[in-house]
């Protein structure tokens, strides 16, 4: 009992001593990095609690996400939504209290879906009667379309790339239907996404290599309780013809694949207006809190501003954008003066080009900037579980001492390996240590790149816990270095 009273007293004393600006000052006094010891652990736990009180009771991130989803909506590079999103980002960063906000221009691919795609298949039923079944499909991002009449092609089911090799003489002039299963046995859903997604990325050129005329894939998703197709970028190998490519909703896809697997002759009609236009101007939108001790050393935190055209880009990656802006707002609200310059970067064109991430790293390199660390949120706005780091194991081992401070707020692991697509170029070109927020992934691929990725599917508290843990990590890295 006495011990508990002592602890409570110590807590109150610490809270008094380290409140608000005083705490900020203690964290940023002098150039030497403070060491993480018992006293600082205590002070940090008080800071964590105060930050949690602020973030969990604020509606800033959630309302900002509502604004982005409902008033901007879809924002693929080159679309009118992209320009509206850039204006939204500028305004949001200023409102969060950035010392400086600016645009960093880059060129980006400009792909358009055009009029909605059309697809159906036909086959003869048991009585020999022709049946025509509509397919819910989305052209893959960056894919070519068909002509205005569309294509009617005999379909062939190919289960995987090794079967394609074996049956390469059978696919000429056909619609290849890939049965790219989203493996439920992988514990990390990202692994299933990577495996199944390789058919979306490489499938068209692998099939075109043997003369296929078009392809369809199962949507890269685990969820079979709806029929929404999931788009996402494909990339053509210039050695082979570019052929039209689309993703099919799982309910439709399973029926079609079942029919093909039974050996019935099936023919598929597909029409798409998709086309690639000349590159367009796009911008990374950047806001910063200028460092009080090392203004020339940078910590980057970000998400990507663009999103696929059929939805609002709520989880992908509206949540990552508002997570990052909330880091800045929350540090400001705490009166915290960062030692290093903290840059919030809302990257352009992650989805179908990565030009924003490449531009940011190229400019950092050209200016010889020193980047201490970069953090990305691009895995949804669900309950945070861990951070995945790409940095040398000694430094990872050192920062794992901080982990007990995070556990009450939901992050229980600092994993080896992780980062984000947009900050990958910083890591590869400048050697910057990077990390990514890993929320629970169980539901992410139910709505990833599909029409149900909307604001209503984001939970406020889960969103806020993500922002909070990111702000806490940025605070710790700013204070102790890496
Ligand atoms: Zn994303």
pLDDT digits over 414-455, tens only? 999 999 999 999 999 999 999 999 999 999 999 999 999 999
Residue 15: the pLDDT is: 35
Tokens of 274: 């998709």
Tell how far the Cα of 234 is from the centroid of ligand 1, in angstroms.
15
Question: Does residue 2 surpass a pLDDT of 50?
Answer: no
CA distance 194 to 462: 25
Residues 392-406, buried b or exposed e (16+ Cβ, 10 A)?
eeeebeebeebeebb
CA distance 357 to 354: 6
Tell how far the Cα of 77 is from the centroid of ligand 1, in angstroms.
13
Q: Which residues pair with 341 in a beta bridge?
A: 298
Tell how far the Cα of 306 is from the centroid of ligand 1, in angstroms.
8
Among 12-26, 40-54, 194-208, 331-345, the least confident range: 12-26
Question: Does residue 29 surpass a pLDDT of 60?
Answer: no
Hey, which residues are catalytic here?
Answer: 350
Tell how far the Cα of 191 is from the centroid of ligand 1, in angstroms.
15
Question: Does residue 45 surpass a pLDDT of 80?
Answer: yes
Tell how far the Cα of 190 is from the centroid of ligand 1, in angstroms.
12
CA distance 14 to 422: 39
CA distance 59 to 430: 36
Nearest to 62 by CA among 471, 334, 464, 426: 464
Question: Does residue 360 surpass a pLDDT of 90?
Answer: yes
Tell how far the Cα of 402 is from the centroid of ligand 1, in angstroms.
28
Query: Where does the pLDDT of residue 27 fall: very low under 50, low under 70, confident under 90, or very high at 90 and above?
Result: very low
Residue 30: the pLDDT is: 57
Tell how far the Cα of 378 is from the centroid of ligand 1, in angstroms.
5
């Amino acid at each position: 009992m006495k011990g508990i009273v002592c602890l409570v007293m110590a807590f109150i004393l610490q809270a008094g001593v380290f409140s608000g600006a005083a705490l900020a000052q203690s964290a940023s006094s002098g150039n030497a990095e403070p060491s993480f010891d018992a006293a600082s652990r205590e002070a940090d736990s008080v800071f964590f609690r105060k930050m949690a009180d602020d973030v969990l009771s604020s509606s800033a991130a959630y309302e900002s996400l509502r604004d982005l989803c409902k008033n901007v909506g879809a924002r693929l590079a080159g679309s009118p939504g992209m320009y509206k999103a850039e204006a939204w980002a500028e305004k949001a960063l200023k409102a969060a209290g950035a010392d400086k906000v600016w645009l960093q221009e880059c060129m980006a691919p400009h792909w358009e879906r055009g009029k909605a795609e059309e697809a159906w298949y036909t086959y003869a039923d048991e009585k020999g009667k022709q049946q025509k079944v509509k397919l819910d499909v989305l052209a893959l991002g960056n894919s070519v379309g068909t002509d205005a009449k569309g294509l009617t092609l005999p379909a062939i089911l190919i289960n995987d790339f090794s079967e394609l090799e074996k049956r390469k003489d059978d696919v000429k002039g056909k619609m290849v239907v890939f049965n790219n299963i989203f493996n439920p046995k992988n514990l990390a859903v990202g692994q299933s996404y990577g495996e199944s997604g390789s058919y979306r990325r490489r499938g068209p050129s692998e099939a075109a290599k043997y003369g296929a005329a078009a392809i369809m894939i199962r949507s890269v998703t685990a969820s079979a309780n709806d029929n929404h197709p999931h788009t996402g970028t494909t990339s053509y190998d210039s050695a082979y013809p570019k052929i039209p490519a689309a993703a099919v909703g799982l309910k439709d896809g399973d029926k079609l694949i079942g029919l093909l697997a039974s050996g019935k002759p099936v023919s598929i009609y597909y029409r798409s207006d998709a086309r690639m236009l000349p590159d367009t101007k796009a911008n990374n939108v950047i806001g910063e809190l200028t460092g009080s001790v090392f203004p020339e050393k940078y910590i980057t935190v970000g998400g990507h501003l663009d999103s696929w055209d059929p939805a609002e880009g709520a989880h992908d990656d509206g949540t990552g954008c508002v997570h990052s802006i909330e880091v800045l707002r929350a540090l400001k609200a705490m009166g915290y003066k960062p030692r290093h310059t903290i840059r919030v970067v809302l990257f352009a064109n992650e989805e179908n080009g990565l030009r924003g991430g490449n531009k940011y790293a190229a400019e950092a390199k050209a200016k010889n900037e020193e980047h201490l660390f970069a953090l990305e949120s691009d895995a949804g706005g669900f309950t945070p579980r861990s951070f995945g780091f790409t940095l040398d194991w000694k430094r990872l081992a050192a920062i794992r001492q901080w982990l007990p401070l995070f556990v009450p707020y939901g992050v229980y692991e600092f994993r080896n390996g992780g980062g984000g697509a947009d900050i990958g170029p910083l890591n590869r070109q400048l050697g910057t240590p990077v990390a990514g927020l890993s929320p629970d992934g169980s539901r992410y691929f139910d709505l990833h790149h599909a029409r149900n990725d909307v604001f209503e599917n984001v939970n406020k508290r889960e969103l806020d816990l993500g922002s909070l843990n990111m702000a806490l990590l940025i605070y710790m890295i700013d204070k102790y270095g890496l």
